[in-house]
Amino acid sequence: MFGIPVIWLILTALASPSQISEGTAGLLDIQPRWQNFVDAVTMIDFTAYAGNSLFLSTLVATLSTISSATVGFAFARLDARGRKPLFAIVVATMMIPNVALLIPSYVLFSRLGLVGTYWPWVLWGLSGFPYLIFLFRQFFAAIPVELEDAAIIDGCGWWRIYLLIFLPLSRPVLLTSFLLSFTVTWGDYLAPALLLNLDNTTLAVATATGYLDPRGNGLLTVQAAGALLYILPVVVIFLYAQRYFMGSSIGSGVKG
């Protein structure tokens, strides 16, 4: 069932408007119309919007990976008062859908004068993502305590232990965290549509709203071609990195 929408998207991207009007029968007898992809790139400033998405996704992925790894290490190895209740709160926030926080976030950022800028994504990245914090915490908790004890005997403080021992050991989780954050940000439509302007918005918004005929009607075949080009990087990332996703998810459950 998952593949049916993808197949429909591909067939629509290759179809002509007349074949779309014929319904299913037209889609089953397609003469590929590659002009749809040319129109998808030329009708909007595709390169600029793709650059915005790439910059924003890379920024959030980098910041959220750094912050989530640091917080996860603190939850896993530092014996601080209130650590367990705080971690429980972080895990509980995983149950809150992002869309429920979107309007309050807009009100807050509007009052701070940050609407129309990338600063909301900087703040989101610095705050870390609950799932990534959980992932790092579980991974770091499974590392033998003997490595930590040996480093302390050698005179290492917590920052050196974290930077020189734990981070190098967590490369698969770091990569997984970066790629997950990247794909989530790349695929986000609602936040950019609400918080960004037309000139600095992302490819997700541009492909959803930019393909219109002179009467303002959506060009379905061009929209499908644009959507196909839009999801292509995420598909490539998933096919390349799925073994890291699986390994990190399995490893996160080794120790509670």
pLDDT digits (tens, 9 = 90+) for 68-77: 999 999 999 9
Scored b (16 or more CB within 10 A) or e, 198-219 reads: eebbbbbbbbeebbeeeeeeeb
Percentage of the chain modeled with pLDDT above 90: 56
Confidence class of residue 250 from pLDDT cuts 50, 70 and 90? very low
Residue 255 pLDDT > 90: no
Residue 253: per-residue pLDDT? 45
Residue 126: per-residue pLDDT? 94
Confidence class of residue 92 from pLDDT cuts 50, 70 and 90? very high
Q: Would you tell me how many other CB atoms lie within 10 Å of the CB of residue 93?
A: 13
Of 158-162, 208-212, 251-255, the one with minimum mean pLDDT is 251-255
pLDDT digits (tens, 9 = 90+) for 102-122: 999 999 999 999 999 999 999
Average confidence (pLDDT) over 55-65: 97
Percentage of the chain modeled with pLDDT above 70: 90
Residue 25 pLDDT > 60: no
Structure tokens given for 198: 């037309």
Confidence class of residue 26 from pLDDT cuts 50, 70 and 90? low
pLDDT averaged over the chain?
87
Confidence class of residue 23 from pLDDT cuts 50, 70 and 90? low
Domain boundaries, the chain: 34-251
Average confidence (pLDDT) over 39-54: 95
Phi and psi angles of residue 82, each rounded to the nearest 5 degrees, phi first: 80, 10
Residue 82: per-residue pLDDT? 86
- Classify domain 34-251 at the CATH superfamily level: MetI-like (1.10.3720.10)
Confidence class of residue 256 from pLDDT cuts 50, 70 and 90? very low
Nearest to 75 by CA among 215, 244, 206, 256: 256
Residue 254 pLDDT > 50: no
